[in-house]
Amino acid sequence: MALTELSRSIEGMVAIVTGSGSGMGAATAKLFAAQGAKVAAIDINQGGL
């Protein structure tokens, strides 16, 4: 099951997503950005960002 929409608007909010270079962190960062949030994507492995 894929989460493609959030239950409330996060448009214009700021989200800091750690571990966003791969896996669930990357999926979360992409979802938040698609929903209009300003995303700070952070990961120890910069290659995945």
Cβ atoms within 10 A of the Cβ of 45, count?
10
Q: Is residue 19 part of a domain?
A: yes
Q: Is residue 39 part of a domain?
A: yes
Q: Is residue 3 part of a domain?
A: no
Domain that holds residue 38: 14-48
| pLDDT, tens digit, 9 for 90 and up, residues 3-48 | 677 788 999 999 999 999 999 999 999 999 999 999 999 999 888 8
pLDDT of residue 1: 53
Q: Is the pTM of this model over 0.85?
A: no
> DSSP label at 22?
S
pLDDT of residue 4: 73
pLDDT of residue 49: 82
Structure-model confidence comparison of residues 33 and 1, the more confident one:
33
Q: Is residue 7 part of a domain?
A: no
Alpha helices in the chain (DSSP H): 23-34
Q: Is residue 40 part of a domain?
A: yes
